[in-house]
């Protein structure tokens, strides 16, 4: 790993007048600004299609892209939609993402664009060939996902566990899902995926040409209501009726005294071993094809995961269950030549997890928000960091540094100020400098800290059910940051060999 620095920002936070950030002009402007500031890394949350709760860590597919990120201006240029078709999207809030209103306004635009796309498809052999190549390259997940979404629409967008005549529908799908869509609605969802990946790859190429590497995020678990579980139930620990036998979470931790009850089904690792971890290999390959590097969320779950009995209202009464660990990664390495992976190794880390991390060689994580208030042995303090590590001032789960600092007790505040030799008045920038000064090869900071924003800009508060994932910045934030700070950042990164 080179010594590089970067920022965390999810595409939903970009400014525009379409209700949510997307792969449009604001994304390209963001890349320009961070590249001119000397940053080389852009990390984002998972880009999958979000389900109930709007979390990018609970998606309808571990492989599909979120159609909310489609740049509609591009589709207008193709003539598939007109400006008037975007009227409802343009009436949505520009300050935050209102996911309920977005859902209602979004899909009518997709329906209109799909009609225009099909008309051009009839006339353009080049477009047909491009589409069929996309189908072929993604056939290991695309048909399952699109047929799942079509059936989900048919059954009122309810969970697949609540579908009427689900067995009949599923049997029909499974007989046809290798190269055939179950309905025009399934083809519509394939259209959204075709456009998503085409636009994303164009954006990634632009970023790479500017010297920016993209870091993706891969949640270890998948949502119960997903195409993955629906199409591959044998790979998950489910009852004969399809319900989880136990669900995933983490025990009480920094974020919650009750732990975090995620609710995801656990893997049936015996079944994965029998198929030589094919599903996992496809998933890793798919992500490494999309991104320059991938962070695996909750890496310790590959050694053992916190299994909570179904029906529990908190994650307190769980137990650790073993996972394949080394065997899984050995199987993947046999089929993937290069694995630029960051392991999220936060939380309860045992010697077994440390051994797995050492065996894989993946860099782990350190978060400066967790460093202060104790003594000099705290592993997250800058003087205890390692080269093969990624240091963050905070992550998407943390408060902004300004909000975090204000919430600290006085002893922790004094420890931080004394350790860094600062006043605490510009804590976001202080932690930026502490990150890039460190020996850790990668140093990454949330964009909110570079904008010097307080707690209202927090992206996610683990353990809470509302008010998450909706933060957006305005164009003025980025331009003010650029004019006031990009020179300082560039000089600072150069000073510390980043």
Catalytic residue among 345, 397, 430, 470: 397
Told to judge if 162 belongs to the known catalytic residues of this protein, a careful annotator would answer: no
* Residues whose CB falls within 8 Å of the CB of residue 398, separated by 6 or more in sequence, listed in order: 367, 369, 404, 446, 458
Cβ atoms 444, 212 nearer than 8 A: no
Cβ atoms 109, 72 nearer than 8 A: yes
Cβ atoms 150, 181 nearer than 8 A: yes
Told to judge if 297 belongs to the known catalytic residues of this protein, a careful annotator would answer: yes
* Residues whose CB falls within 8 Å of the CB of residue 460, separated by 6 or more in sequence, listed in order: 55, 396, 397, 468, 469
Cβ atoms 1, 442 nearer than 8 A: yes
* Residues whose CB falls within 8 Å of the CB of residue 128, separated by 6 or more in sequence, listed in order: 121
Alpha-carbon span 461 to 399, nearest angstrom: 7
Alpha-carbon span 442 to 440, nearest angstrom: 6
Q: Please state the φ and ψ torsions of residue 227, each to the nearest 5 degrees.
A: -65, -30
Cβ atoms 300, 320 nearer than 8 A: no
Catalytic residue among 237, 297, 303, 449: 297
Cβ atoms 452, 428 nearer than 8 A: yes
Told to judge if 82 belongs to the known catalytic residues of this protein, a careful annotator would answer: no
Q: What's the alpha-carbon Rg for the chain, to the nearest Å?
A: 23
H or E element: which one contains 260? Answer: strand 260-265
Q: Which long-range contacts (CB under 8 A, 24 or more apart) does 330-334 make?
A: 331/276, 331/277, 331/280, 331/281, 332/277, 332/280, 332/281, 332/284
**3-state DSSP assignment of residue 96:** strand
CA-based end-to-end distance of the chain: 11
Alpha-carbon span 263 to 53, nearest angstrom: 12
Alpha-carbon span 375 to 393, nearest angstrom: 18
Catalytic residue among 54, 217, 344, 470: 344
Give catalytic residue positions.
297, 344, 397
């Amino acid at each position: 790993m080179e010594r590089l620095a970067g920022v965390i920002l999810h595409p939903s936070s970009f400014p525009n007048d379409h209700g949510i950030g997307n792969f449009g002009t604001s994304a390209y402007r963001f890349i320009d600004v961070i590249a001119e500031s000397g940053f080389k890394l852009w990390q984002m949350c998972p880009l999958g299609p979000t389900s109930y709760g709007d979390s990018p860590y609970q998606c309808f597919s571990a492989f599909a892209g979120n159609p909310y990120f489609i740049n509609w201006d591009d589709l207008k240029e193709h003539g598939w939609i007109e400006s008037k078709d975007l009227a409802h999207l343009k009436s949505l809030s520009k300050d935050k993402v209102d996911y309920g209103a977005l859902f209602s306004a979004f899909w009518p635009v997709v329906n209109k664009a799909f009609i225009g796309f099909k008309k051009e498809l009839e006339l353009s052999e080049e477009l047909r060939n491009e589409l069929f190549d996309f189908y072929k390259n993604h056939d290991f997940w695309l048909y399952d996902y699109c047929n799942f979404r079509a059936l989900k629409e048919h059954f009122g967008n309810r969970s697949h566990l609540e579908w009427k005549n689900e067995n009949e529908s599923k049997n029909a799908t499974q007989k046809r899902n290798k190269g055939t869509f179950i309905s025009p609605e399934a083809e519509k969802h394939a259209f959204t995926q075709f456009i998503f990946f085409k636009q994303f790859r164009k954006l990634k190429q632009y970023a790479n040409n500017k010297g920016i590497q993209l870091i993706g995020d891969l949640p270890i678990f998948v949502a119960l209501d997903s195409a993955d579980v629906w199409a591959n139930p044998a790979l998950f620990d489910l009852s004969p009726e399809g319900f989880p036998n136990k669900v995933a979470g983490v025990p009480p931790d920094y974020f919650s005294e009750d732990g975090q009850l995620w609710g995801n089904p656990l893997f049936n690792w015996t079944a994965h071993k029998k198929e030589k971890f094919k599903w996992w290999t496809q998933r890793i390959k798919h992500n490494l094809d999309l991104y320059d590097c991938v962070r695996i969320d909750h890496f310790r779950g590959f050694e053992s995961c916190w299994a909570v009995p179904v029906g529990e209202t908190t994650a307190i009464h769980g137990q650790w269950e073993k996972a394949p660990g080394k065997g899984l990664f050995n199987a993947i390495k046999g089929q993937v030549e290069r694995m630029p992976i960051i392991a999220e190794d936060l939380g309860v880390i045992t010697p077994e997890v440390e051994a797995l991390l050492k065996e894989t060689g993946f860099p782990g994580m350190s978060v400066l928000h967790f460093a202060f208030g104790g003594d000099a042995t705290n592993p997250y303090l800058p003087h205890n960091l390692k080269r093969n590590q990624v240091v963050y001032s905070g992550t998407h789960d943390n408060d902004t540094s300004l909000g975090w600092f204000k919430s600290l007790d006085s002893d922790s505040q004094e420890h931080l100020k004394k350790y860094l030799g600062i006043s605490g008045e510009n804590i976001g920038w202080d932690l930026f400098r502490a990150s890039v000064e460190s020996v850790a090869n990668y140093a990454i900071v949330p964009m909110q800290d570079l904008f010097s924003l307080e707690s209202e800009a927090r992206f996610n508060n683990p353990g809470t059910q509302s008010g998450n994932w909706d933060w957006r910045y305005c164009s003025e934030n980025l331009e003010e940051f650029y004019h006031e700070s990009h020179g300082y950042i560039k000089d600072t990164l150069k000073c510390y060999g980043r």
